[in-house]
Amino acid sequence: MRVLFAVLMLLLSCAACDRDDVAPKPRTEGAGRAVAPKSNAPSVTISGDDRAADLLSWEVPAVVLEPDQLAAARRSAAKAVREQRLYADAESAIPLYLAILKLAPDDEMARAGLKRALGELLKAGDVALAQTDHDEQALDRAHEIAAVARTVDPADPAVILYLTRVDVADRLLQLNEQGEADLRDSRLGEAMDGALRKFRAVLTLRPGQPRAMQGLAAVESGLIRRAEGAAERGEFGAARYWLNQAAPLRPGSGTITDAKARIEATRARLVRSWHDEGIAALGKDDGLAVARGKLADVLRIATPGDAAAADLRQRIELAAHYGLFRPGQTFTDAMRDGGRGPQMAVVPHGGFRMGAKENEDGASKAEWPSHYVRFDRGFAMSRSEVTVGEFRRFMQATGHRARSSRRGHSIVYDERSGNFVRRSGVDWRSDYAGRPASDQLPVLHVSARDAEAYAEWLSQQTGHRYRLPSEAEFEYTVRAGSDGPWPWGVDMPPLGSGNLTGSLDRSPSGRSWSNAFEGYGDGFWGPAPVASAKPNRHGLHDLAGNVSEWVADCWHEGYRRAPTDGRAWLNPGCRTRVIRGGSWASSPAQTRSAWRMSASADLTNARVGFRVVREL
Q: Distance (Å, rounded) from C-alpha 611 to C-alpha 385?
A: 5
Q: Distance (Å, rounded) from C-alpha 139 to C-alpha 142?
A: 5
Per residue, the 3-state secondary structure of 297-350, as one string, reads HHHHHCCCCCHHHHHHHHHHHHHHHHCCCCCCCEECCECCCCCECCCEEEECCE
**431 exposed, middle or buried (CB, 10 Å; 0-12, 13-18, 19+)?**
buried
pLDDT score for 237 = 94
In three-state secondary structure terms, 489 is: strand
Q: Distance (Å, rounded) from C-alpha 609 to C-alpha 446?
A: 7
pLDDT band with cut points at 50, 70 and 90 for residue 333? very high
Amino acid making up residue 367 = E
Q: Distance (Å, rounded) from C-alpha 447 to C-alpha 600?
A: 9
pLDDT band with cut points at 50, 70 and 90 for residue 135? confident
- The answer, yes or no, to whether residue 441 has pLDDT greater than 50, is yes
pLDDT score for 397 = 97
Q: Which of 172, 158, 173 is nearest to 121 (CA)?
A: 158
Q: Which of 336, 391, 281, 322 is nearest to 615 (CA)?
A: 322
pLDDT average, residue stretch 18-25: 35
pLDDT score for 5 = 43
List the single range of 186-200, 305-319, 466-480 with lowest mean pLDDT. Answer: 186-200
- The answer, yes or no, to whether residue 338 has pLDDT greater than 50, is yes
Q: Distance (Å, rounded) from C-alpha 327 to C-alpha 480?
A: 13
Q: Distance (Å, rounded) from C-alpha 522 to C-alpha 500?
A: 7
CATH superfamily of 344-386+470-615: paralog of FGE (formylglycine-generating enzyme) (3.90.1580.10)
pLDDT score for 283 = 79
Dump pLDDT digits (tens) for 261-305: 999 999 999 999 999 999 999 878 788 999 999 999 999 999 999
> Burial code of 585-607, b = ≥16 C-beta within 10 A, e = fewer?
bbbbebbbbbbbbebebebbbbb
Q: Distance (Å, rounded) from C-alpha 451 to C-alpha 549?
A: 10
pLDDT average, residue stretch 387-399: 98
Predicted TM-score (pTM) of the model is 0.63
pLDDT score for 12 = 41
- The answer, yes or no, to whether residue 311 has pLDDT greater than 90, is yes
pLDDT score for 56 = 57
Judge contact between 173 and 132, C-beta under 8 A: yes
What dihedral angle (degrees, nearest 10) is formed by the CA atoms of 89, 94, 98, 101? 140
